[in-house]
């Protein structure tokens, strides 16, 4: 048995998970620490990088203290994507990190991208699509939107910035002392040429279009590169040796894809955490700009990953728990599931739309908002609880339709990962609503750390690519129930109709605030 372990760090929006993972993918132990998000007027969402690091050190110290005999040979990083940390020449943050929920840069993005075709200049859009595989989000929920926001509204910070880093790349700097990004992490800056995965490069024309200084961007490496040994300060804080190697950070979507066990071409997974997505690895570069789906560089050396995201999924269940079972904490999720299970499929016609922070796929609309629809005097708590779970699933079906058109494949089974996969009821609802067999992966919340650890093994030559497939055991399988098909088909049609009928209303109500 190989006794070497990877210390895998997963910087989630709600706080980091730190795990000891074997090269076989087994998670031997894990610890978590909470972080908070500061929401600001006008669509702001920020976190303090110092809190990230404090939480990681605390969790790592606890974990390593509980496993004193384990031999750590590498540190792997994964976590939230589409965030921005502006650092000075010493690598210290100049302001709070702007995270993926932040839309304050929307006016600045529209000035750069603006044009008559769905909000874009046709020539600029074509260049972005050809070189990067995508285009800046008009809602500014990506790195370019954040950088342009700082340039426009915080010019003092922009001038003082030595480098703009993704959260995972800031952790890479903190751990190794090396200021670098990969073609995987840097994609959502929309200034990289992703056509040759082995030779990532910033494109001078895209930099000019965006108005971003090349000098303020980090060194660009291939995906899953080795940054080097732990920096002395980080080694001391974590309690590890200086010979431990640090592997460059991978966005959560990329590591979770590997940690789901679905690494073969078109082997798909469904993720439900704070946000949600349906994705798979593909051997081609392709873009569906109308529905915010693109094949972007993956963590695997020669593959792209279908990139799409729905803004709010698991967080909707959190809000429902807090409303229905105040002060219940994590125990409230079991209470919510029990309550939801007592309602019939379809929740008596009650529909929940989970757009609590706008939407990305299959519509890039930061002004749409969520709600409960078709309530009556007969509506009870159970129908509301179930409608929340079903609403997230209906939204996933909306995404699924366009992802399957994009891949030109029926994606089945779906490996289900993330916190949402803990709920057996939600697994069955997903199977029924999506009409696909669902495979609940064992330890689904650890898919990110498992994937990051396996990628570290690949980067350091300890694993070969074929060994990555299937290293996530399936805990349970859920088949679609034919009896639920008609109910969910009807609800799905109504769900899409709610957006179509009300999108102008959302724009009127929320346009001024945004």
Average pLDDT, the chain: 94
Q: Is the pLDDT of residue 1 over 70?
A: no
Helices 106-113 and 143-153, interaxial angle, to 10°?
100
Pairing of strands 27-32, 38-40: unpaired
Q: Is the pLDDT of residue 318 over 50?
A: yes
Nearest Cα neighbor of 286 from 122, 405, 181 is 405
What is residue 2's predicted lDDT score, i.e. its pLDDT? 67
What integer is the mean pLDDT of 90-118?
92
Q: Is the pLDDT of residue 433 over 50?
A: yes
Q: Is the pLDDT of residue 514 over 60?
A: no
Q: Count of residues for the chain?
A: 514
What is residue 301's predicted lDDT score, i.e. its pLDDT? 83
What integer is the mean pLDDT of 199-228?
95
Q: Is the pLDDT of residue 206 over 70?
A: yes
Q: Is the pLDDT of residue 168 over 90?
A: yes
Nearest Cα neighbor of 95 from 85, 103, 104 is 85
What integer is the mean pLDDT of 460-483?
93
Give percent of the chain above pLDDT 90.
88
Q: Is the pLDDT of residue 43 over 80?
A: yes
As given in the structure block, the two tokens for residue 328 are 């219940």
Lowest-confidence region among 51-55, 58-62, 289-293, 374-378: 289-293
What is residue 41's predicted lDDT score, i.e. its pLDDT? 92
Nearest Cα neighbor of 385 from 323, 312, 313, 315 is 323
DSSP class of 483: G
Q: Which one has a higher pLDDT value, 301 or 188?
A: 188
């Amino acid at each position: 048995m190989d006794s070497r372990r990877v210390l895998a760090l997963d910087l989630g929006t709600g706080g980091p998970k730190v795990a000891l993972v074997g090269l076989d993918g087994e998670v031997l132990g894990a610890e978590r620490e909470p972080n908070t998000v500061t929401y600001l007027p006008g669509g702001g969402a920020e976190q303090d990088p110092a809190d990230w690091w404090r939480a990681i050190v605390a969790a790592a110290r606890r974990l390593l203290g509980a496993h004193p005999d384990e031999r750590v040979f590498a540190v792997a990083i994964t976590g939230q994507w589409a965030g921005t940390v502006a650092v000075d020449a010493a690598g210290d943050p100049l302001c709070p990190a702007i995270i993926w929920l932040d839309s304050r840069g929307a006016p600045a993005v529209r000035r750069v991208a603006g044009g008559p075709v769905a909000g874009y200049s046709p020539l600029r859009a074509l260049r972005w699509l050809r070189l990067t595989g995508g285009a800046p989000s008009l809602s500014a929920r990506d790195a370019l939107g954040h950088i342009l926001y700082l340039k426009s509204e915080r010019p003092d910070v922009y001038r003082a910035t030595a480098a703009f880093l993704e959260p995972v790349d800031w952790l890479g700097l903190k751990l190794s002392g090396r200021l670098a990004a990969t073609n995987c992490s840097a994609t959502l800056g929309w200034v990289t040429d992703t056509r040759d995965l082995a030779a990532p490069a910033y494109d001078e024309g895209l930099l000019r279009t965006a108005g971003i200084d090349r000098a303020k961007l980090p060194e660009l490496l291939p995906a899953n590169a080795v940054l080097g040994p732990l920096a002395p300060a980080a080694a001391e804080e974590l309690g590890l040796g200086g010979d431990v190697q640090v592997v460059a950070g991978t966005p959560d979507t990329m590591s979770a894809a590997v940690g789901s066990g679905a690494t073969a071409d078109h082997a798909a997974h469904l993720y439900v955490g704070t946000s949600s997505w349906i994705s798979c690895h593909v051997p081609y570069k392709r873009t569906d700009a109308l529905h915010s789906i693109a094949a972007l560089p993956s963590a695997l050396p020669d593959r792209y990953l279908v990139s799409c995201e729905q803004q709010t999924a698991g967080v909707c269940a959190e809000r429902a728990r807090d409303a229905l079972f105040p002060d219940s904490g994590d125990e409230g999720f079991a209470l919510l599931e029990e309550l939801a299970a007592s309602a019939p499929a379809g929740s008596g016609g009650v529909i929940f739309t989970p757009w609590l922070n706008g939407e990305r796929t299959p519509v890039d609309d930061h002004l749409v908002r969520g709600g409960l629809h078709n309530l009556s005097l007969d509506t009870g708590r159970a129908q509301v609880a179930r409608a929340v779970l079903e609403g997230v699933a209906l939204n996933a079906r909306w995404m699924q339709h366009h992802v399957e058109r994009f891949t030109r494949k029926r994606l089945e089974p779906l490996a289900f990962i993330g916190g949402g996969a803990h709920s057996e009821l939600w697994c069955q609802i997903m199977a029924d609503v999506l009409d696909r067999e669902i495979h609940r992966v064992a330890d689904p919340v650890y898919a990110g750390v498992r994937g990051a650890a396996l990628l570290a093994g690949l980067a350091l030559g300890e694993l070969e690519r074929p060994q990555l497939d299937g290293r996530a055991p399936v805990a349970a399988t859920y088949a679609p129930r034919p009896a639920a098909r008609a109910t969910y088909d009807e609800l799905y049609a109504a769900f899409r109709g709610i957006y179509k009928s009300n999108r102008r209303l959302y724009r009127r109500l929320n346009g001024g605030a945004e």
